[in-house]
Every structure is written in C-alpha cells, then in structure tokens.
Amino acid sequence: MKTALIYSEEWNRFDYGREHPLRMERLGLTWRLMQAYGLTTLPQATVHAPTPAAEGEIAVFHDPHYLEVLKAANQGAPPPRASAFGLGAGDNPVFRGVWEAARLVAAGSLLAADLVATGQAERAFHFAGGLHHALPDRASGFCYVNDPVLAILRLRERGFRVAYVDIDAHHGDGVQHAFYGDPHVLTISTHERGERLFPGTGFVRELGEGDGAGYSVNLPLEAYTDSAVYLPAFEAVVPPLLERFKPDVIVAQLGIDAHRTDPLTHLALDVQGFVRAFARILPLAPRLVALGGGGYDVRNVARGWTAAWAALNGVELAEDMPETFAPDLKRFGFTSRKLWDTPTAPVPDEIQRAVSDYVDRQVDAVQTTIFPFHKL
C-alpha cells in the first residue's frame, strides 16, 4: 500500500494573531511527533510539500470578487468591504500572507486528491487542510478557502464517486452547502448540536434537496458525548451508508476538537475513540484523502493526527512518546508522555443518561429519515 503525507514548513510564516485560538504551531508540533515516531520515513510512504495553488484552481468553487478581496488583504490590512466577505476582527482576521496561506492550504488538498486519483498513493493525509466552513463568497469559522470542497471537485472531475466523512466537533457546513443537491457526493458530518455550537447548523432535517435528497447526512451530538457513546452511534450510521453508497474515494475530515480537553467545544472523546472512528472507515475506502481540521489544544492535535497517520499506514505506536520528542513535551506543557489518554472520572449518571438518550434519538432520526433514500 502506497501512502502520502503532505506537509510544508511554509506554515511557519503565518499567524492568525496572538489571541486567536487557531495556532499554526500545531502543524509543526504534529510533524515533529511524527518524525520522533519514525512515521515520516516509512518505506511505503512519500512526503510532499505543496506549491501554492493557482487562483483559477480556487475559483472552481470560490467567487472571483471574494478572491479579489482576499488577495487585497494579503499585506495584512483589511481592504474596503472586507467585512462583507467575512474578513476582519474575530474569527477570520486579516493577517500578513492570508492569501498565500489560502493558496497553500488549497494546494495541499488538491495535491492529496491528485496523488490518490492518479494511483501514486492509495491514501494521502494533508493535516493542514480540512478547513470546511468557507463558503463560495466569504470566509467563515477560521476558514478562508474550502479545501475539502476543492479536493472533492477535483476528484469528481476525474469521474470518482466521493463520500465525505467529517468528525470535527463543528458541522461541516461549507462542504454540505457545496453538494447539497448532488447525489454523486455523500456528505456525512458528526458534530456537536447546532443549538450549542458554531455554525448553528447540521440538524438531521438538513438532508439535501432535489436529486441530492438523502445525500447530506448529519448526526448531532449532545455536550459531554464521550467515546463510549459516540462510537456505537458512529457505527450505526456511517458504515451502513458508506457500504450502500460504495464510494470510489472517501475524503475524511479529521478535526480533533471533539476531544475532551478542547477549549472551544463541549464533546468528550479521547484520542483512542477518535482514532477508532477513523480506523473504522479505512476498510470501506478503496482510496482515501484524509484532511486535518479543527483542534485548539495543540498537544492533542499532535497526538491525534500522529495516531491517525499511523493507523492509515497500519502502524502500531508505542504508548510512550519517544525521548527525542522531550523538548516539545516541555515547551508545550504536556502533562504526560503517554500517546493515549488515561481514564478520567465518569460524568454523573444523570448527565450520561441524557447524553445517551439524545444521541440515540438522533441515530433513530437518521435511520428513519435518511436510510430509506438508500434502501436501508
């Protein structure tokens, strides 16, 4: 099995700002942990650094007027009407190099798609990608261009049938928007319920339209959903739909902000549960493009994505992170050398029951509402 890892040191040039929760250093930290484990020199794997995407490649999905404003913002000052395109103080700051960063993230996911489409790799992982909120004409949710959409469109151009599976804590709204009427792209998103978390969407009733009805699938989750509740719900919804849809390629968005320590969300997965969910779809993917996504506790981003890359390659990792990673353990304040999470005290029984009941109702709603479209 041939695999590909996409990474660029160019990410060190970009910074959303000192107070912004999306920290670019999470990418370098992940790379160094992969290096420490020997995962960047696997015999079956190749490592690729993308070159920035051309504007025309991004304009396949994004509005030219929006891209003009994004280019004008590249020097770090908001251009006129920036706020009309979602740019400015808050989630989507204007920083020096913002257009270059957008081109680079698009390029990495397009490269992953091309490597998989041409057979140079059966599985590829671009962990700087997965920015799933951007809309055709505006930035949204820390995302300036929607690289998962661009990757899916590239695969569709080559005639592939694509399933998109998103396990980020936030709903994959931009990807759903792009393919809401398309029966050739199945989008599945598991996420914290929209009443509690940005972007406020992702309800079961958002099931697609026209010929695409039944091909947008959402599994909302209650706060405090842990791996013990999440994994059976995932199993009940995701594999049956993938098996019925029979994709040629799965594009997986691996946001790890559903982790119990993430500062922006309220779910409670551990690293083990995150990796088990990802590993469950691997045998269902004839070809795979994996992308990163959210994750705002940088330590668990590094642990989760390193473990995911190992799983993608069929490699079992030692529980203790390597000694060569010790400088980063100290610098980033890791409280343990363990790759895997240790058990924590369970939530009170009444909360656990409420969480389980809510998720059970959502699974039932998906099976009742969505499954009939697929003759399940």
Q: Note the pLDDT tens digit of each residue in 299-338.
A: 999 999 999 999 999 999 999 999 999 999 999 999 999 9
Which entry of 48, 132, 133, 170 is annotated as an active-site residue?
133
**What is the architecture, at CATH level 2, of domain 3-374?**
3-Layer(aba) Sandwich (3.40)
Q: How far is Cα 190 from Cα 199, in angstroms, rounded to an integer?
A: 13
Q: Where are the domains of the chain?
A: 3-374
pTM of the entire structure? 0.98
Cβ atoms within 10 A of the Cβ of 254, count? 28
Is 254 in contact with 304 (CB distance < 8 Å)? yes
Rounded percentage of the chain residues whose pLDDT exceeds 70: 100
Rounded percentage of the chain residues whose pLDDT exceeds 90: 98
CA distances for 374 relative to 166, 173, 214, 237, angstroms: 20, 22, 8, 12
Task: State the amino acid at position 220 in one-letter form.
Answer: P
pLDDT of residue 344 exceeding 90: no
Report the SS3 class of residue 339: coil
Catalytic site includes residue 171:
no
Is 253 in contact with 130 (CB distance < 8 Å)? yes
pLDDT in tens, 217-243: 999 999 999 999 999 999 999 999 999
Name which residue leads in pLDDT, 346 or 85: 85
- What pLDDT shows up at residue 203? 98
- What pLDDT shows up at residue 346? 82
User: Chain-wide mean pLDDT for the chain?
Assistant: 97
Q: What is the mean pLDDT of residues 136-151?
A: 98
Is 334 in contact with 211 (CB distance < 8 Å)? no
- What pLDDT shows up at residue 347? 84
- Length in residues, the chain: 376
List, in sequence order, every residue forming a beta bridge with 124; answer none if it has no partner: 4, 289
- What pLDDT shows up at residue 89? 87
Please give the span between the terminal C-alpha atoms of the chain, in angstroms, as a whole number: 32
pLDDT in tens, 276-296: 999 999 999 999 999 999 999
Reduce the secondary structure of 28-85 to three states and give it as a string: HHHHHHHHHCCCCCCCCEEEECCCCCCHHHHCCCCCHHHHHHHHHHHHCCCCCCHHHH
Is 175 in contact with 132 (CB distance < 8 Å)? yes
Cβ atoms within 10 A of the Cβ of 129, count? 31
- What pLDDT shows up at residue 30? 98
CA distances for 120 relative to 116, 129, 194, 250, 350, angstroms: 6, 20, 39, 16, 51
Q: How far is Cα 104 from Cα 147, in angstroms, rounded to an integer?
A: 10
